[in-house]
Each structure stands twice: as structure tokens, then as C-alpha cells.
Structure 1
Amino acid sequence: MDKLAFKATDRPVARHIAIIMDGNGRWAAERGLPRAEGHRKGVEAVRRTVSAAQELGITHLTLFSFSSENWSRPRQEINDLFGLLRRFVRRDLADLHKNGVKIRVIGTRAGLAPDLLRMIDDAIELTKDNTALNLTIAFNYGARDEIARAAARLAEDVAKGVLDPADITQERFAAYLDTAGLPDPDLLIRTSGELRLSNFLLWQVAYSEFVFVDCYWPDFSREQLEAALAEYQRRNRRFGGTSARSTA
């Protein structure tokens, strides 16, 4: 199914897709491989998905890369994950920039090595003016932590007299989140067959459509992305109302 086929139904194409990339470790375990190999194959799936997203006309793609809860994993696995991020940036940044991808990283910077922070900042700065695809990486991210940090910054502005509590609205609160300026996801995809959000974008996915895919993330393909988009187009998004409403 190509890009035009999605539009042939006269239903909106999801402009913002968020993905919980789950199942790297189980993919490796089922093959008798170390978990690091599963994560390496997961990076290949990221490359495929970013390329497919651009070809299918998606304008925003948000990927859940490393949870703030993942620090409880074995130290070697954490080091492997960070090493993969470093290699991904070194290997792929030039191509992403050439293809017009704008990179944004959300989450807390606490606990991240200085060299990794510099790489992240350099990637953001290099791609800041690109417009072909907005790629957001949720790294060292947890939604409850994001909401708590936003509330703290909001409280600080109230205490300073910058903001009147009576002026606090949903829209104003959203401007304090890590995702400020981004549209809410139209579609959230989770791989591996698990049926939960795992502390990902809890505020932003209030009215997103969910599609749960049985395959592990390393096996996620363009075909499965297209199938999720087709399922999205079959949904009636009412946002609490009685008739479908488009966000395109």
C-alpha cells in the first residue's frame, strides 16, 4: 500500500505517530542471542521506520527509546543502549540532516554522560531548521516525571508573579511539557503484543488511537506501519463528541 492508497479513503492520514518500541530483549532471547543483539536490530528497525514515515507523508514521529525506569536494568545493558545511541548519532546524523529530519530529544538530562549530552545538543542544533520530518526521541523519559517537572515550573512562574493561577488552562499547562509546540499524537503504536502505555506520553495521548502489534520491535516493517495507518483510517475519532472529527 502506498501513500496515495491511504488518502483514497478520504479519511485523514495520521500526521503524528508515537511508537513504544518494545520487544528487543525477547526477540534476542527467542533466538539464543544476547540482549545487546536485540537492541542492535532494534536500531535497524528505527532506520526503516524513519525512512518509511517520510515516504508515507508522516510529519511527526516520536519514539520511546529509553525509559527513566530502565535504569533498573543491568549496568551492562544500559551501557549497551547508550553505546547504540552514540553510534546511531555518529552514523545516521548526516543522512538524517540531508533528508530534512529535525531531531528533538525529550526527557530529563539527569544521569546522562557529558559526551552524550553534547552529542544530543549538536544533533538538535544541526537539524533545528529542517522541516521534512520532526523526529522526537524520548530518552531517559517518563511521563509522570515530565508532568511533575512541568507542574514545578508552572508553580515557579506563579510564585514569581509571572502567571496568575486563574490563567492556567490545559493549553497553557501543555506549554510547560517537554513536547511543547508539538501536536498530540494521532496514533500510538506498541510492538511486542503488550497492552499498556508504560508511562509514555500520558498527557499527550488522551485522544490518540492505539494500535498494538504482536511482532517484536526488531521485526517491525514498513508493511506493519502501513497496516497500522490503515487501521487508523478506519477509526472514527469523536474526541468525546457524537460525530467523527478530523485533525488534519
Structure 2
Amino acid sequence: MRKSFLVPQSPRTPEPQARFLKLGRWGAGALGRYRGFTFVETMIVLALFGILGVSLFSSFSMGMKVWKKATSTNLFKRKAVLTVERLSMELRRTFYYAPIGFLGDKAHIEFPGIVSNKIYNLSYDFFPEEKCVKRSGISREEMLGMQGTEKGNFSRVVIPGVENFVLNYYGPDDQTGNYTFLESWNNTAAGIPAAVKVSVALEDGTDLEKIIAIPVAQQ
């Protein structure tokens, strides 16, 4: 009797073309469905980009405001320091000159000084409504009304952002005769003060104070 043997056969691997056809039957539609973003997905992406853009713009804007504020604050302080030093230099160099004199109150001071080798009536004034201190000058020729002279008058802001600006003058009190800081000064009665105290308060909270001795008053 003949015996028959069954030889196990390995599963047949589908031909590439058959696999492609099989994929084509069920996968073509799926690939078509995921060919690009849907409208909803596009709107979500655009919304996310919009939120990110607004956040970046807000951060940048806030940073610029802080930077500008810090820069302005430092600039105002530097100008205040430089102006007080300039006033100190001009007061130390002042001199007797009757047509100009030496006058002052809490928010104003004027005295003779030299600018570009010419005698000027120099003045510093505090303007509370403008929150600034201005430095002005009128030449002697302009004061005397001399003809044919070049106009050299000037007036400019030297300290912006000022909350308060106070001047006091060191000299004898009319009532007691004791030397103290007075709120006003008129040289016709007392000559030139021995010293001037300058107090500056800026809007950012910075306070400056300096006492300026005037050499010509001590001669």
C-alpha cells in the first residue's frame, strides 16, 4: 500500500500588485480624506497663532513702556544734576553789577553772569504747570537797548519732570539780624547772599539738595 505524505505549504505571499489593489479598495478613500487640513483645523491653528501673536505683542509693548520709563527717569535725573552743577558754577562766578543786581524768591533767581565773553542777566525759573525749570539769559546790550547789537537772548528747559523746585538765600534776617536761609532776596538792601540752597524734587521721587557758597559775598 502506498503511503501518502502531506507536505506543509507556507502561506502564499500576495503579489505586490495584489496588495496594491487591495489597498486601493479600502485605502484610497482614507488617503483622500487626510490629504490636507480641514476648515475647523485651519481655524484652530489660526486662532492659536493669533493668541501667540497677541501675547508676544503685549509682552513687547510692556517691555518698551518699562524701558522708556526707566530711560526717561534716568535722563531727568541726569539733567537735574547737571543743571544744579551749572547753577553752582555760575553763582560762584557771579559779581556785582548794579544794572542787573541779585534778585530771587522761592521759584525764581536772577544774577549777572558771563556767557560767550558777554555780560548776561541769567535767571532760573520753576513753572509748576509745566513741571519744568527753565534757564534764560538776556544780554547787557539788550537790557540797555543798544542799537546794532546781535540778539543773544535764550530760554530753554533744563530740568523736565519737576515736582517741586525751591530756592533759599543765606543772609541776615531783617527782624532778628541772625543769619538764616530766607525765602526771598533783594540785593538793593542786603547785597549778594552768602549762599543759595537749591532743592529739587522730581516726579519719580528723586530729591536733590545743594548749598552753594558765593565767594564774592564773603569779600
* TM-score bucket (shorter structure): under 0.3
TM-score by length of 2: 0.23
TM-score by length of 1: 0.21
Pick the structure with more helix per residue. 1
Pick the structure with more strand per residue. 2
